[in-house]
């Protein structure tokens, strides 16, 4: 009896031969594996990501390897040139103890660059995360709750029409003293700069996230979730946020690039961190008056800023391609 049944079923399957798999089933692939495979194809993004990782690691563990205090004055050995100047100028004052030379107070340039990179990257990452957080919160609430949509989007439009750089200058100049007084010069400036950059750069993320959420919340899985009584907060956390991760990641890279540039620009205009607390922008602007004699002091931080931003931009480019399922696999 059972044999007959099996045979009948087999015959039935035989009949619909087209339905059968021609090849053995493949291993199921996770989404992130697909993303990684697509990402790997973008050479620029790969190099950019690698360089960003390298810079981040270098500024994190650099001080452990190159154990020179960035604030250590060594007035006897001031104005040293970097070692590579020996290639064309044999008489240049160089020293193996200071491979990238020293500044006008004898501080080691390699150590200050590492310390400056630490500050720049810290400001960049924190400001980017703050902007992402605000942008995602505003975007999700505007997209999900219809009542909030109008007011929140008007607010976003208003923020978009604020003159950002002048306002940043105003805010940083005017609020420098009280924050310094209450948190100390370095922490105060850090809070201030991260805060103003974060508060003035969340608008693009909010707009993108809102658009995605508006489209997503009409889909069946959200309806299903709502029909079994899931609370809005849980729907947002479990169903909406994982689906808007890719646009958020892309705008995160853009945000990181702008945050680093903005911080350096503020430092360059002289409203950033105090002089004894180096960041790349500060190092660059401090070196401008004597750039004819010591061009490397301008070039090194400038090249570091530009390379970091360039690698972040390429990373964003690759991420955008890799995270978009319509482009992926082509």
Partner 1 sequence: MLTYTIRRLFLSIPTLLFISVVIFLLLQLAPGDPMAQVPLTVPPDVKQKMRDALGLGAPIHVQYWKWLVQFFWIEPQVLIDHWFGTGLAEGKLRVISWQTRSPVMDIVVQRMPQTLWVVGMSYVVGILIALPIGVYSAYKQYSLFDQAGTFVSMIGFSIPPFFSGVLVIVIFSVNLGWFPSIYDTTHVVTDWASFKIQLQQMVMPVMVLALQTTAQISRFMRASMLDNLNQDYVRTARAKGLKESVVVLVHVLRNSMIPIVTVIALGIPSIFGGAIITETLFKVNGIGQLLLTALFANDLPMVMTLTFIFAILIVLFNLIADVLYGILDPRIRYD
CB of 174 to partner 1, least distance (A): 3
CB of 167 to partner 1, least distance (A): 6
Structure-token pair, residue 169: 């200058």
Q: 310-329: buried (b, 16+ CB within 10 Å) or exposed (e) per residue?
A: bbbbbbbbbbbbbbeeeebe
Q: Which is nearer to partner 1, 95 or 306 (CB)?
A: 306
Structure-token pair, residue 241: 């946020």
CB of 113 to partner 1, least distance (A): 15
Contact 320, 50 (CB under 8 A): no
Q: Which is nearer to partner 1, 178 or 325 (CB)?
A: 178
Q: Which is nearer to partner 1, 63 or 211 (CB)?
A: 211
Rounded CA-CA distance 99/85 in Å is 10
Q: Which is nearer to partner 1, 132 or 287 (CB)?
A: 287
CB of 308 to partner 1, least distance (A): 8
Contact 267, 285 (CB under 8 A): yes
CB of 254 to partner 1, least distance (A): 10
Q: Which is nearer to partner 1, 198 or 222 (CB)?
A: 198
CB of 67 to partner 1, least distance (A): 29
Using N-to-C axis directions, what is the helix angle for 295-323 and 109-144, rounded to 10°?
30
Q: Which is nearer to partner 1, 225 or 272 (CB)?
A: 272
**Cα separation values, 30 from 35, 36, 37, 169, 238, Å:** 9, 10, 11, 46, 18
Rounded CA-CA distance 119/126 in Å is 11
CB of 175 to partner 1, least distance (A): 6
Where would I find the beta strands (DSSP E) of 217-291? none
Structure-token pair, residue 101: 């030379």
Residue 38, SS3 per DSSP? helix
DSSP 102-165: B-TT--BHHHHHHHHHHHHHHHHHHHHHHHHHHHHHHHHHHHH-HHHHHHHHHHHHHHHTS-HH
Rounded CA-CA distance 3/7 in Å is 6
CB of 263 to partner 1, least distance (A): 10
Q: Which is nearer to partner 1, 73 or 303 (CB)?
A: 303
Which residues form the interface with partner 1 (CB under 8 A)?
44, 157-158, 161-167, 169-171, 173-175, 177-178, 257, 261, 264-265, 268-269, 271, 281, 284-285, 288, 291-292, 295, 298-299, 302, 305-307, 309-310, 313-314
Q: Which is nearer to partner 1, 217 or 282 (CB)?
A: 282
């Amino acid at each position: 009896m059972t044999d007959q049944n099996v045979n009948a079923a087999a015959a039935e399957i035989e009949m619909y031969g087209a339905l059968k798999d021609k090849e053995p089933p493949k291993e199921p692939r996770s989404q992130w594996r697909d993303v990684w495979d697509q990402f790997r194809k973008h050479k620029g993004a790969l190099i950019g990501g690698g360089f960003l990782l390298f810079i981040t690691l270098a500024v994190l563990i650099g001080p452990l390897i190159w154990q020179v205090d960035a604030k250590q004055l060594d007035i006897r050995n001031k104005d040293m040139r970097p070692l590579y100047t020996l290639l064309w100028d044999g008489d240049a004052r160089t020293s193996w103890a200071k491979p990238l030379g020293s500044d006008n107070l004898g501080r080691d340039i390699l150590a200050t660059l590492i310390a400056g990179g630490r500050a720049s990257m810290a400001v960049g990452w924190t400001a980017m995360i703050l902007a992402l957080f605000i942008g995602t919160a505003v975007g999700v609430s505007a997209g999900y709750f219809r009542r909030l949509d109008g007011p929140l989007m008007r607010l976003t439009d208003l923020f978009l029409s604020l003159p950002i750089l002048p306002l940043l200058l105003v805010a940083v100049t005017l609020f420098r003293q009280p924050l310094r007084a209450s948190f100390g010069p370095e922490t105060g400036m850090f809070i201030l700069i991260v805060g103003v950059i974060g508060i003035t750069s969340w608008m693009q993320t909010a707009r993108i996230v809102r658009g995605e959420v508006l489209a997503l919340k009409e889909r069946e899985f959200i309806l299903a979730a709502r029909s079994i009584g899931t609370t809005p907060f849980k729907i947002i956390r479990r169903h909406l946020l994982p689906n808007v991760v890719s646009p958020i990641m892309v705008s995160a890279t853009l945000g990181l690039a702008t945050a680093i540039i903005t911080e350096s620009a503020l430092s360059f205009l002289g409203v950033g961190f105090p002089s004894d607390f180096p960041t790349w922008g500060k190092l660059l602007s401090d070196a401008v008056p004597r750039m004819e004699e010591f061009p490397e002091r301008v070039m090194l931080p400038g090249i570091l800023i530009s390379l970091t931003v360039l690698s972040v931009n390429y990373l964003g480019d690759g991420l955008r391609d890799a995270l978009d399922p319509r482009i992926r696999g082509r």
